[in-house]
Amino acid sequence: MTMATVDIFMATDIKWDPTGRYVATVVTSSVMEDGFYIWSLMGSCFTEHSRNKSFRPPSLLSEQKEKEVKKNLRQSVERYEEEDKEVLDLLSRQEMEKRRVMEEEWEMWINKWKQLHEEENLQRQNFLVREKKGKKSIIMRLLRKLSPWNHEQ
pLDDT score of 108: 96
Residues 18-42 pLDDT 10s: 888 888 888 877 566 677 888 887 8
Distance (Å, whole) CA 17 – CA 6: 17
Q: Is residue 130 scored above 90 in pLDDT?
A: no
pLDDT score of 111: 95
Instruction: Looking at mean pLDDT, say which of 48-57, 91-100, 135-144 comes out highest.
Output: 91-100
Cα distances from 112 to residues 54, 67, 99, 101, in angstroms, run 65, 67, 20, 16
The mean pLDDT of 96-125, rounded to a whole number, is 93
Cα distances from 145 to residues 53, 131, 133, in angstroms, run 96, 18, 21
Instruction: Judge contact between 13 and 28, C-beta under 8 A.
Output: yes
| Residues counted in the chain | 153
Q: How confident is the model at residue 131 (pLDDT cuts 50, 70, 90)?
A: low
pLDDT score of 136: 56
Q: How many helices (H) and strands (E) does the chain have?
A: 3, 4
pLDDT score of 148: 64
pLDDT score of 106: 96
- What is the share, in percent, of the chain residues with pLDDT greater than 90? 32
pLDDT score of 121: 87
Instruction: Give 121 or 57, the one with higher predicted confidence.
Output: 121
Q: Where are the domains of the chain?
A: 13-50, 79-147
* The model's pTM: 0.35
